[in-house]
């Protein structure tokens, strides 16, 4: 077949800072998905987008074209409204695990399509797969049935959802174009809009352990995604949240599941509880159910009941013992004082090197590997006191994990508290 455009012309237009027309965008996404535009041509276009940006109209059309490359899900048959949450990823970010059953316990269905970890950020599916028997893959029919029955699903996205994004995401990862805000925003939002949720809350992380280190960049990304969702008819709000310090006291797969269960039991670290409840309130309000306080559903056990049913529905045993690593090593404080800083990125890299994460998508992960924290910024510590425990099945990994923790914390006179929620957009 003859093509409507020439890829080189489209690349040149964006290289020369010209906006792409709707027709050019529709064609280039479709042609790339079909294989008529080569990887090296799409790489050049992605780099031009990274360097020169896109207008709001272009980003919206690019997102629509990615959605049009696959199927759209429809939850209109459900007996309750839907709301979803997306986090841009961080260290110790297990919030999806307690959040989905909590929101479902308050009467809003949560269709949470999640992913796996890559590099220092953990993946929700990897965490849940540490539960014996739990399966990440569901058909659309199974997902709909579980949403109606249980109210919450956390599963892998099917191949039919925005296949153009899957192809482009892999390309961006190896061509230095991951950071292009128009491409990040359209990647996230094409899947979320195609998923068919009625409301969406975005948790955009800022800080060393986040994808976005800079607050202004994070705010730009959040604003872009909120605009895309709003334009598509999805009630969308974004929170900018701190990721300079790891969330909670664990980074790793089974370790984070255990901490999530503690939160659902009415305990758990204060920061994890605060962010879970804050995001739940936003999701409920966006779905028109702001007359319910999710904090009550944590206290009275309703959220835990939904968790057990959600895990069981996907073949998991919520009562089973979680895997533990064969080996552990304690890292201690070198002086007395107040822990004033604990670098999220360095803790995340340590967990990754211990076996909790992967360098390539096909790498296996260790369910029990990771880092358990015994102190957070603001805590008083003494020399020789445990700061963290490292866990792995392969003890030869300890040395490289320890290397990544060099200079990861500061012990001083007093810590300045940092707010967990930095800003709200939408």
Active site residues: 86, 165, 172, 187, 191
- Strands (DSSP E) found in 196-278: 199-206, 235-242, 250-252
Round the CA-based radius of gyration of the chain to a whole number and report it: 22
Rounded CA-CA distance 102/95 in Å is: 11
Let me know how long the chain is: 426
Rounded CA-CA distance 11/331 in Å is: 51
Sequence-distant (6+) residues with CB within 8 A of 403 are none
Rounded-to-10 torsion of CA 99, 86, 283, 376: 50
Find tokens 């994070």 and name the residue.
218
Two tokens at 332? 């201690």
Phi, psi of 92 (to 5 degrees): 75, 15
Instruction: Count CB neighbours of 351 within 10 A.
Output: 33
Q: Identify whether the C-beta of residue 318 lies closer than 8 Å to the C-beta of residue 308.
A: yes
**Residue 395: DSSP 8-state:** G
Two tokens at 160? 């039919």
Two tokens at 3? 């093509």
Phi, psi of 380 (to 5 degrees): -85, 135
Q: Identify whether the C-beta of residue 340 lies closer than 8 Å to the C-beta of residue 406.
A: no
- The crossing angle, in degrees rounded to 10, of helices 181-195 and 56-68 is 50
């Amino acid at each position: 077949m003859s093509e409507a455009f020439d890829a080189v012309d489209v690349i040149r237009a964006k290289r020369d800072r010209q906006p792409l027309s709707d027709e050019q965008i529709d064609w280039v996404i479709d042609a790339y998905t079909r294989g008529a535009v080569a990887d090296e041509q799409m790489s050049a276009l992605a780099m031009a987008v990274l360097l020169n940006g896109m207008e709001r109209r272009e980003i919206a059309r690019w997102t629509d074209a990615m959605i049009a490359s696959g199927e759209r899900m429809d939850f209109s048959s459900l007996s309750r409204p839907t709301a979803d949450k997306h986090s841009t990823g961080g260290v110790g970010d297990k919030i999806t695990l307690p959040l989905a059953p909590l929101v479902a316990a308050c009467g809003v269905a949560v269709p949470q399509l999640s992913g796996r970890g890559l590099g220092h950020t953990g993946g929700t599916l990897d965490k849940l797969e540490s539960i014996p028997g739990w399966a990440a893959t569901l058909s659309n029919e199974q997902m709909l049935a579980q949403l109606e029955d249980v109210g919450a699903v956390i599963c892998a996205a099917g191949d039919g959802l925005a296949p153009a994004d899957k192809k482009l995401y892999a390309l961006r990862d190896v061509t230095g174009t991951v950071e292009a805000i128009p491409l990040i925003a359209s990647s996230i939002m094409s899947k979320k809009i195609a998923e068919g949720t009625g409301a969406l809350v975005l948790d955009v992380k800022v800080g060393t352990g986040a994808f976005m280190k800079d607050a202004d960049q994070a705010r730009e990304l959040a604003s872009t995604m909120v605009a895309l969702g709003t334009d598509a008819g999805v009630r969308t709000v974004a929170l900018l949240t701190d990721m300079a310090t790891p969330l909670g006291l664990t980074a790793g797969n089974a370790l984070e599941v255990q901490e999530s269960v503690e939160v659902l039991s009415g305990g758990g670290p204060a920061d994890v509880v605060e962010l879970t409840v804050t995001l739940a309130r936003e999701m409920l309000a966006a779905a028109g159910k702001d007359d319910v306080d999710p904090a009550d559903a944590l206290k009275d056990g309703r959220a835990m009941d939904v968790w057990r049913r959600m895990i069981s529905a996907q073949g998991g045993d919520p009562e089973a013992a979680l895997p533990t690593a064969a080996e552990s090593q304690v890292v201690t404080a070198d002086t007395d004082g107040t822990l004033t800083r604990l670098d999220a990125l360095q803790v995340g890299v340590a967990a990754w090197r211990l076996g909790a994460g992967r360098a390539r998508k096909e790498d296996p992960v260790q369910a029990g590997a990771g880092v358990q924290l015994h102190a957070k910024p603001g805590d008083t510590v003494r020399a020789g006191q445990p700061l963290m425990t490292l866990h792995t099945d392969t003890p030869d990994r300890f040395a490289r994990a320890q290397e990544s923790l060099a200079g990861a914390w500061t012990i001083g006179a007093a810590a300045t508290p940092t707010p967990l929620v930095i800003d709200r957009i939408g």
